[in-house]
Amino acid sequence: MTFRFNNLYSLTLAVCLIPLLWLLIDTAFDNLGPNPIQALHIRLGDWSLRFLWLTLAITPLQTVTSWRGMTEYRQLLGMYAFFYATLHVLAYLLMDHALVWSVIGVDIIESQYIWFGVLAYIIFFSLALTSPKWAKKRMGKNWKKLHRFIYLAAGAAIIHYYWQLKGNLAEPLFYLVIVCLLLGFRVLVWVKNRQLTRLMIPTGLRSPVFAEKQVMLETIREPQVNELERLDESGTQHQHI
Amino acid sequence: MIIKTKKDIPGSEITDPLVFKKRRQIIKATLATMLTGGAISSAFANSTLPVWGDLPKSPVANDSLTVTPAEITKNYTNYYEFSFNKKEATSLAQNLITDPWSVEISGEVEMPGSYYLEDILGQQTLQEYVYRLRCVEAWSMVVPWVGFSLASLLKMVKPLSSAHFVKFTAVYQPQTMPKQLANAMLEWPYVEGLRIDEAMHPLTILAVGMYGDSLPKQNGAPLRLVVPWKYGFKSIKTIVKIELIKRAPITTWNKFAPNDYGFYSNVNPAVAHPRWSQNSERQLGTSFFTPRRQTELFNGYGNQVASLYSGMDLRHFF
């Protein structure tokens, strides 16, 4: 894991703990309303989702702006999404169910919305496990493949959120719009890259200009990976796609 | 709080029980007015005495239940006419106009008509009914309702033998109910229904109060249904119309999502909602790390009501 203690990074690290602090204060002052267990549980889940959206927003942000070097912030926000998701799961098991496994078992088996929560959490868990830099290096190409599952986790998390509601769609719809925008942006970049490929590599001329074009394509298609490689402070050899 | 001091109490020599119950406060208020010159209304507004006080407990209710603190019951209620958020609904519900209130009783009855709530109350014996309320959202609370049996009201209007179902309609008041004004989500006004034998069951009541006091607006004032063995949404609030009809009425949640919310909607831990389990429930008022309560068939009222459904497949008729 990277621990570059510049000011902004430390600040972000601290700010991301505010929701938890706020929750602890509300709990201490009995400010969680008539159903405090559910309120605590749901607020933790909400924060996990919010950090997930923030995590997913980093790459498009890097692409549209000229800002670079946000990879470690993406990692930080992702880890916070996992952190709040873990607290959410623990609140469910400990606070709501007091670890009565027979009741928990039935609840999970019969509640479809929980299945999607479990799926999202398993993905989160494996992504968090492979989040450190050494894991990234060791996994090579597979790391990116694995971490693409974040989209599946995002979808599962929305269904998890939406299916426990009795029918009020406003907030999950808002989240759905965010995810569609974030995903849509990536699809757009991908389509554009494909078009560029066609334009830039006319048939017949493929071999002479290939090397040059590939460098150009890489810059457009995978800005975050390039960034990552450039930022790699360990000085080891870059992996090429 | 409704204080009836006007003279137009319709067609009844019986003292309005609200006034009757508050007679001491009226005397106090009058004295206070004489002493301080203040307005009567402010004296009433400041009064904290409950309207009904200690009523006889109904023998049909189970008094071994631990009553949920009133503050929880008053602040945790679904009222989609006002908002889909419980907290917001509670504050917006204060705009509801509940005075005057009359209930239309019609359909397959000998004596259809529109009845003032005061007149209905004048003829009914109020009792306290301590019931567990189990919400379809998998939480429960124990509420000491003040009310009277629906059967005794229905008997007054003499149902015909053709009355097989009872349809209840809630108030349509879009000027105070934002979700009605916006025509949001459900079809308004809210409609609920019972089979006639369910409606005539001694556990089925119409409530006008809780915790010895009048019903708070967010909890369904001035008149609501309470059917303790069914999920909470069956217990319709702010009733303006009761119709006795031949065929099963189309009820609001059932129409909105027929696979999720059945007409019967009896509390049943074995029949899960399509998206969540109904096996256990969070009892409100319990602290952190307290296990959930195991939900009981018919919400624990099986001894009294199971016979209504004998021979029926409860999985099919959920």
Global ipTM: 0.78
Contact A107 B280 (CB under 8 A): yes
Contact B284 A35 (CB under 8 A): yes
Determine which of A46-60, A216-230, B99-113, B121-135 has the lowest per-residue pLDDT on average: A216-230
> What's the Cα-to-Cα distance from B177 to each of B5, B63, B93, B184, B241, rounded to whole Å?
28, 36, 8, 11, 18
pLDDT mean across residues, chain A:
82
Predicted pLDDT of residue B6: 46
Predicted pLDDT of residue A166: 74
Predicted pLDDT of residue A62: 86
Predicted pLDDT of residue B109: 97
In DSSP notation, B19-37 reads HHHTHHHHHHHHHHHHHH-
Q: How close A176 comes to chain B (CA, Å)? A: 19
Predicted pLDDT of residue A233: 42
**Whole-prediction pTM:** 0.80
B274 vs A contacts (CB less than 8 Å): 112
B292 vs A contacts (CB less than 8 Å): 96-97, 100, 103
Under-50 pLDDT residues of chain B:
1, 4-7, 9, 11-12, 33, 35-47
For residue B130, give both structure tokens: 């301590």
Predicted pLDDT of residue A229: 44
Q: How close A37 comes to chain B (CA, Å)? A: 6
Averaged pLDDT, A212-229: 48
Select the more confidently predicted residue: A64 or B155.
B155
The residues on B that touch A, with CB distances below 8 Å, are 71-72, 75-76, 78, 84, 86-87, 136-137, 139, 185, 256-257, 272, 274-280, 282, 284, 288-292, 294
Predicted pLDDT of residue A232: 44
Predicted pLDDT of residue B51: 85
Select the more confidently predicted residue: B79 or A60.
B79
Q: How close A59 comes to chain B (CA, Å)? A: 34
Predicted pLDDT of residue B43: 40
Each residue's pLDDT tens digit, B21-72: 555 555 555 555 454 444 444 444 444 567 888 899 998 887 689 999 999 9
Predicted pLDDT of residue A236: 42
A33 vs B contacts (CB less than 8 Å): 75-76, 87
B71 vs A contacts (CB less than 8 Å): 34
Q: Which residue of A has its CA nearest to B68?
A: A34
Averaged pLDDT, A19-33: 94
The verdict on A187 touching B (C-beta cutoff 8 Å) is: no
**% of chain A residues with pLDDT over 90:** 50
pLDDT band at A168 (very low <50, low <70, confident <90, very high): low
